[in-house]
Amino acid sequence: MESHTVAGRLEVICGSMFSGKSEELIRRMRRAEIGKRKTQLFKHCKDNRKTLCHVNAHNGDMLAACPIENSGELEQLLHSDTEVIGIDEIQFFSPEIILLVDRLVTQGKRVIAAGLDLDFRGLPFGCMPVLLALADEILKLKAVCTQSGKDAHFTQRLVNGEPAKHTDPTILVGAQECYEARARECYKIDCKPLDEYLKTHSFAVK
């Protein structure tokens, strides 16, 4: 008798803030529940803008989630019979999350990850570039620029109403009082340190 292995998959939902990433993650998780799949939803505990134990979309939608700090906690809390795993704000996790996600997909799990692909400097955010490369499916969402009304790909951080400096900390959790979605021509940063990013990340093919 032939043995049939269940094929896992990685779906990555990315885009700027206010682009609907959490909303899409909630939608996919609910569809999985309707399909009688056993699901678990996780979020990084750094995202405490509204309620800590929910994934909160900017449209007001929410879904119960388990707040965690690292991939080890996710692995400990994950049930053996869970089929669909959702992870919100995945850009906040350390690189170990990549290894865990890859292992779960290899085990036949469906992993749905949502996060910012670019930080406020316009640079690749944390583990996202690798997850995007490994993904079976990528959905890059666009927000609406608060200045021009055009498609927005960038997240503008504002401090006292002015664009933040590139030397500011990468992680500063907030909502509209700290961030706006901007189109490329409306996005402002004093310096985009792409050269520094490239120096600290190896792209050499050996």
Catalytic residues: 89
Q: pTM to 2 decimals?
A: 0.91
Report the alpha-carbon distance of residue 159 to residue 164 in Å, rounded: 6
pLDDT of residue 176: 52
Q: pLDDT of 54-82, one tens digit each?
A: 999 988 899 999 999 999 999 999 999 99
CATH of 9-199, one of 3.40.1190.20, 3.30.70.920, 3.40.50.2300, 3.40.50.300: 3.40.50.300
Average pLDDT over residues 123-152: 98
Q: pLDDT of 4-36, one tens digit each?
A: 567 899 999 999 999 999 999 999 999 999 999
pLDDT of residue 177: 64
pLDDT of residue 4: 54
Ordered by start, the domain boundaries in the chain are 9-199
Which class for 150: exposed (0-12), middle (13-18), buried (19 or more C-beta within 10 A)? Answer: middle
pLDDT of residue 50: 72
The closest of 124, 126, 175 to 22, measured between CA atoms, is 175
Report the alpha-carbon distance of residue 191 to residue 189 in Å, rounded: 5
The closest of 92, 122, 127, 128 to 183, measured between CA atoms, is 122
Average pLDDT over residues 175-200: 89
